[in-house]
Chain A
Amino acid sequence: ETGVTQSPTHLIKTRGQQVTLRCSSQSGHNTVSWYQQALGQGPQFIFQYYREEENGRGNFPPRFSGLQFPNYSSELNVNALELDDSALYLCASSTGTPEAFFGQGTRLTVV
């Protein structure tokens, strides 16, 4: 196991609601990245946090936001949920090197 844990594992939300997903990084890892994986697609980069600062962002609208805490755990917040936000959300932690280790993911369904 990678030591990266995500919560919750599954979630059902209604369109227009807000959601917060959580990630605890592997011990010693100071970098956390978030990815969205739609069915049948590869993961898409949302953003990365390094030492509590955003350190890169993919092509996602501002309603996708995040935080990293002093213990390097992280949150992903999504406002005004849309049906297309239904996906597996993956958190990956690393020491800043490209090799990333993923948590088991949060499966979000928007109805």
Chain B
Amino acid sequence: RKEVEQDPGPFNVPEGATVAFNCTYSNSASQSFFWYRQDCRKEPKLLMSVYSSGNEDGRFTAQLNRASQYISLLIRDSKLSDSATYLCVVFTGGGNKLTFGTGTQLKVEL
């Protein structure tokens, strides 16, 4: 079983749509959680951290459920510029490593 699992997509949605991505992780000792965004052939960029209380940054809302080992990202009012791959990322203190999912590809269309 992969440490971090995501649906690879692609998710093709019209502009203005709301889209949700989900991710599960296997290591219950994981300490911190993130969503990164990666444009084609570019480096990953931190989109937002994810907390159990949920957090929101403009059109983006992230949620963590530690009991279910589940992370989500909701994008409201999708823009063409949101087209990218969204990477679910988990930090585990032992080894000091970030573990990435394979990413979910989003394509926002006119």
Interface residues of A (CB under 8 A from B): 2, 33, 35, 40-45, 48, 50, 55-58, 88, 90, 92, 98-105, 107
List, in ascending order, chain B residues with CB within 8 A of A41's CB.
102
Within 8 A of A (CB), among B18-48: 31-32, 34, 41-46
Query: SS class of chain A's interface: helix, strand, loop or mixed?
Result: strand
Pair B97/A45 contact, Cβ less than 8 Å: yes
Tell me whether A40 and B102 are in contact (CB under 8 A).
yes
Contact of A99 with B44 in the complex, beta carbons under 8 Å: no
- Closest chain B residue, CB of each to CB of A44: B100
- Cα A99 to Cα B33 in complex, Å, equals 9
Please indicate which of the listed interface residues B42, B43, B96, B101 has the most CB atoms of chain A within 10 Å of its own CB: B43
Q: Count chain B residues whose beta carbon lies closer than 8 angstroms to a beta carbon of A.
A: 22
> A43's contact among B31, B44, B95, by CB below 8 Å, is which?
B44
CA distance A94 to B99 in the complex (A): 16
A58 nearest CB neighbor, chain B only: B97
A45 to B94 Cα, complex, angstroms: 13
B98 interface residue, CB < 8 Å from A?
Answer: yes
Enumerate chain B residues within 8 angstroms of A92, measured Cβ to Cβ: 98
How far does the Cβ of B20 sit from chain A's closest Cβ, in whole Å?
Answer: 19
Known A90-B43, A102-B44, A104-B43; contact A42-B101, beta-carbon cutoff 8 A: yes
Cβ contacts A to B, 8 pairs, < 8 Å:
A2-B45, A42-B87, A43-B44, A43-B87, A45-B95, A45-B98, A90-B43, A90-B44
Contacts of B97 in A (CB 8 A): 33, 45, 48, 56, 58
